[in-house]
Amino acid sequence: MVSATHDAPQSAQHDAFGALRGIRDRIAAAAIAAGRRPADVSLTAVSKQQPWEAIEPILAAGQRIFGENRVQEASARWSHRSQPGLELRLIGPLQTNKVRAALDLFDVIETLDRERLAERLTQEIQRGGRAPRLYIQVNTGEEPQKAGVGPSEADAFIARCRGDYGLAVEGLMCIPPEAEPPGPHFALLAKIAARNGLTGLSMGMSADFESAIRHGATSVRVGSALFGPRDYHSSR
């Protein structure tokens, strides 16, 4: 008889494989339905505020791209771990005093949203810091409580990031308002990206990533559909 101490890890790994396979299957189906290649849409597993016990089985199941909200929390979780092919994405707001630490840790920063941050990123990169891939966050719903440049300001901000600061912007990111259908917001982000020659679109979360894929998402951010309910009391 196998002891319970061995059953639990095996069960967790089995559940993780199933959850990850299910999300990947849905991504593939949505891409094919939209006339796209499944390989053109990457999955970011949103590990923010998840305990390591929930993350480890997903990592073991083969997931390599993870999204985090806070520099300090992500550093505590990932800085001492080495995994081939691991890619960390900052998907939460970045304070200017955390830029150096963010450059040391993250491969992608998706929340470039203001001039001061662009300036600080440029300074730290020129000092020899790592140059992450950059996405500009667009506040498509123009919500006052949410970060991101407004849609009407996006073109000018993209031009300043490229021209004034020499930043290589890869794409755009958005988080549509919860109370509105996400489709029009995804379409708006895709339109802004297209007219600025940007190919990366980080949009779509657990409840709407299939809609985002139909509108051209190249990266979707999935948390609760992959990990289950978030444990706000344990994030190590």
**pLDDT per residue over 28-38, tens digit each?**
999 999 999 99
In order of their start, the domains of the chain are 4-227 (3.20.20.10)
Instruction: Indicate if the pLDDT at residue 44 is higher than 80.
Output: yes
At 223, is the pLDDT very low, low, confident or very high (cuts 50, 70, 90)?
very high
Instruction: Indicate if the pLDDT at residue 5 is higher than 50.
Output: no
SS3 label, residue 50: coil
- Sign of the alpha-carbon torsion through 17, 37, 171, 130: positive
For residue 203, the model assigns a pLDDT of 98
Average model confidence (pLDDT) for the chain?
91
Instruction: Yes or no: say if 200 and 171 are a contact pair by the CB < 8 Å rule.
Output: yes
For residue 4, the model assigns a pLDDT of 35
Dihedral of CA atoms 220, 226, 230, 236 in degrees, nearest 10, equals -90
What phi and psi, each to the nearest 5 degrees, are found at residue 129? -70, 160
Taking only the tens place, the pLDDT of each residue in 59-106 is: 999 999 999 999 999 999 998 887 889 999 999 999 999 999 999 999
For residue 175, the model assigns a pLDDT of 97
For residue 234, the model assigns a pLDDT of 45
Q: What is the pTM of this model?
A: 0.90
